[in-house]
Amino acid sequence: MIELRRASRKYQQGAREVYALRQVNLMINRGEFLSIMGPSGSGKSTLLHLMGGLDQPSEGEVFLDSKPLHGITDNELTLLRRRRVGYVFQFFNLLPLLTAAENVGLPLLLEGLPFSQVKSKAEALLQQVGLSERTEHRPDQLSGGEMQRVAIARALIANPAVLLADEPTGNLDSHTSEEIFLLLKALNDQGQTIVMVTHDPKAAAYGNRILTLKDGAPVQDIAIGEPVA
């Protein structure tokens, strides 16, 4: 469902060009839980950004559900992020002025749906992530773990083809981290395709496939178990 063909991403650093990703070929199937590992600067996040349409490859091609993510307009890419991709960031990236329910419902509000309709769906998702009591709380009234759950619920509200998580527990304690991993695992068990970037081998083990990057290129790709569907 996600495919990268000889995808590279380079940046200009002063006078020289630096490759964050170099000639990556990768195929991710529906229902997979792919953990991407590697040391800092290995290109993990860049790879995730290319998959989610937050960034575009300098060379090569990226496909989501066989549709190209390269060479399309900003508007098309934006709608794709809104409707087909769910993002979970390390620093949650919730809007501080909005309640948990509003934050979760934001992608649907952008579609122009009335809040009454959005709210019931957001509340259902918040209940699914264990936050049914916190729907009217603002981010500054939530703990780190709770904020990340809200972010996960937001990522799920548009029924995305893939959920992309960038170091989702990088900012959380070990106990809370485990809760988040279990939640992601449960979602994957229900058929949700997930790609997660992490530098923690224990966390990576929650996935059913682990891809290791080094200097912008895959060095290892191991399947742990069979995908659910």
Partner 1 sequence: MNLINLLRHISLKHVRLQKAQLLIAVVGIGLGVAAMVAIDIVNVSVLRSFAESIDQITGRAALEISGAESGFPEALLERVQEVPGVEYAVPVIETNANLADGSKRAVMILGVDVLQDHQIRNYSLTDEAADIPDPLLFLAKKDSILLSKAMAKQEKIAIDQEIRLQTVEGIKTFKVRGLLNPEGPARVAGGDIAIMDVYAAQLAFGKEGRIDRIDVSFLPGGKLDTMKARIQQVLPSGYTVDTPAGRTRQVEILLERFQKNMAFTSTMVMFVGMYLIYNIISISVVQRRKEIGILRAIGARRSEIITLFFAETCVVAALGSLLGIGLGLAFAKLTVGFVAQYITDVYLQTSVTSLTFSSGMFFRDAALGILASLLAAASPVLSSVRFTPLAAIRAQSSGGDGFILSRNIKLASALLLALSLGLFAAYRAAGPGSDFRSSTVTVASAIFLIVGISLLTPAILQGTMLLFHRFLSPWLGVAGRLAGINLQKNIGRNGVAVGAIFFSISLYVCSASAMHSLNVSMFDWIDSIIRADLLISSGSPLAAGGAHSIPMPESLAGELEKIPGVRMVEPFRKGYLTYENKKILLEIFDVALRMEYCPGMFAEGNREEVIRQVPGQDTIFINEGFATQYNLHPGDSVVLPTPGGPVRFGVAAIAVSYSSDAGVVWMDVHTYRRHWQDTLVDTYEVLVKEKSEIPRVRQAILDRLGQERHLFVLPALEFRNEIKKLLANTSVLFQAVNILVLLIAGFGIVITLLASVLERTREIGVLRAIGMKKNQVAGVVILESALIGTLGGLLGSATGLLLGWIAVEGFFRLDYGASIVYHVDFSAIAWAILLSTGLAALAGFYPARRAAGINIVEALTYE
Q: How far is the CB of 112 from partner 1 (least distance, A)?
A: 4
**Cβ 116 to partner 1, closest distance in Å?**
11
Least Å distance, CB 229 to partner 1, is 26
Name the residue nearer to partner 1 (CB basis): 153 or 210.
153
Q: Are 188 and 17 in contact (CB under 8 A)?
A: no
Q: How far is the CB of 82 from partner 1 (least distance, A)?
A: 2
CB-count burial class (<10 Å; 0-12, 13-18, 19+) for 56? middle
The smaller minimum CB distance to partner 1, of residues 29 and 115, is found at: 115
Residue number, 71 or 201, with CB nearest to partner 1: 71
Note whether 61 and 5 are within 8 A (CB): yes
What is the dihedral sign for C-alpha 37, 74, 3, 209? positive
Nearer to partner 1, 37 or 50 (CB): 50
Min dist CB 105 to partner 1, Å, is 8
CA–CA distance, 211 with 218 (Å, rounded to integer): 7
Instruction: For residue 5, count CB atoms less than 10 angstroms from its CB and return exposed for 0-12, middle for 13-18, buried for 19 or more.
Output: middle
At 96 the three-state DSSP class reads coil
Cα 86–chain centre separation = 6
Q: Which of 87, 167, 172, 191 is nearest to 208 (CA)?
A: 191
Residues 6+ apart with CB under 8 A from 33: 184, 185, 188, 193, 194, 196, 206, 207, 208, 209, 227
**Binding stretches for partner 1 (CB under 8 A):** 49, 54-55, 74-75, 78-83, 87, 89, 91, 93-98, 102, 106-107, 109-115, 154, 158
Dihedral over Cα of 94, 146, 163, 203: its sign = positive
The minimum distance between CB 91 and partner 1, in angstroms, equals 7
Nearer to partner 1, 73 or 225 (CB): 73
